Chain A
Amino acid sequence: MDQRPDLIAIFAGGFYLVASLRLFRLGRRSGKRPELLLGAYFAGAGQWFAIQNGALLIGFDALPALAEQVAEWVYVASVIAYLLFIKTVFRARDAWAHSLVGAAIAYLLLGASALSVSGELVSALDNPWFLIEWIGYTIPCVWMSVEGVLAHARAKRRVAIGICDPIVADRFLLMGAFGFFQCVACAAELFWAAENVATPLFSSAAFRLLGAAEAASIALLWLAFFPPRLYQRWVENRSAALARAGGLRP
């Protein structure tokens, strides 16, 4: 079996855990919920990636059932935190957002509960509970990508009249792109699940797609949460150059 995506997933897990620690620290400093909610998501996703793939890498065929159940439920809780982060930040007053969050949570809980009761967390297309849970954790990925791109488009206009930092506008786009690559990761999981009906082995193509999506996600989060000075200067210079050229002039 090709182990490279495993290593990327373990690295992604470690990176998500580091990002979550940073967000928890920022949340404690500001006393605000959004940082804590996003930190909770990365903590849940990080432990899931690190534990699942770490166990495979050190020679376990599978995690002990209880450990797998705990990791799964922590992940489900973290996806709920992610949904609440997106709603709180972008759509706090929109009734449809409440409904979307409710629907996604219902899918997550129904799918995860049924998988837990059956005792097998099997990712296969002929397992309806897997598909139901998949919809639940794909919704926030799609939602984040859409909100990130829309917020970036609006923020660019505010940058043009001097009431938004170009770094903040760029961070919207980075998080939108992160959402997109998480959608790619979800799609890769679906490809894998489609093949898993016939064989328990990972498809090398789906596995590589998953690895590429996670590698891209790490790069985007690094630029969003730990932006190097050089990158910040590039964003600021690009924004200033666009304004000079009239590209961002209102």
Chain B
Amino acid sequence: MTATLFDIAAEKLEGKTDMDRLAARGTLRLALKEAGLDPQKLSVAQLRAVFEKLMPKELEARGVGNASRICSAVMDQIAAASVAAEPAPSDSPDDVFRRLGGG
């Protein structure tokens, strides 16, 4: 089965921190929930926004040092690896409701 963007991001996060697999996935899940995003329907742009604006705070709350630098590093790796990820569905509710307005 192809890894999703969520799987790749959690794996990279696990590699860059002392968190185990469960903690890395759980932390990322919490940040995505706070952003109102579904882990199975992520785009790279959405993930980037989460790593820029929410993940540093989540990591700091778990005692991870250099959180912002870790998040940048993870995002750089994801950008390189995301071509191998399962593509996000093109018909997300946001996409559909943007088009309904003629946009």
Contacts and interface: CB of A to CB of B under 8 A. Distances in A.
Q: Chain B at the A interface: mostly helix, strand, loop or mixed?
A: helix
B63 interface: no
Interface stretch (A52-60, A106-114, A127-135, A162-170): A162-170
A151 B102 CA distance: 19
Contacts of B99: 26, 30, 32, 34-35
B49 interface: yes
A43 interface: no
A26 B102 contact: yes
A153 B36 contact: yes
Contacts of B89: 92
Interface string B77-103: 000000000000101011011111111
Contacts of A30: 99
B37 interface: yes
A161 B93 contact: no
For chain B, the bracket of interface size reads 20 to 34
Contacts of B36: 153-158
Residue of A34, A90, A224 with most partner-chain B CB within 10 A = A34
B72 interface: no
Q: Chain A at the B interface: mostly helix, strand, loop or mixed?
A: helix
B102 to A, nearest CB: 6
B53 interface: yes
For chain A, the bracket of interface size reads 20 to 34
Residue of A161, A175, A225 with most partner-chain B CB within 10 A = A161
A172 B97 contact: yes
Interface in A139-167: 151, 153-158, 161-165, 167
A221 to B, nearest CB: 10
A161 B53 contact: yes
Contacts of B46: 158, 163
A22 B103 CA distance: 12
Nearest to B50: A161
A38 B101 CA distance: 13
16 contacts: A22-B102, A23-B100, A26-B99, A26-B102, A30-B99, A32-B99, A88-B91, A153-B36, A157-B36, A161-B50, A163-B35, A163-B46, A165-B98, A171-B100, A225-B100, A225-B101
Given A30-B99, A161-B54, 7 more contacts: A32-B91, A90-B93, A151-B93, A163-B49, A164-B94, A171-B101, A250-B35
Interface of A: 22-23, 26, 30, 32, 34-35, 38, 88-90, 92-93, 151, 153-158, 161-165, 167-168, 171-172, 175, 224-225, 227, 250
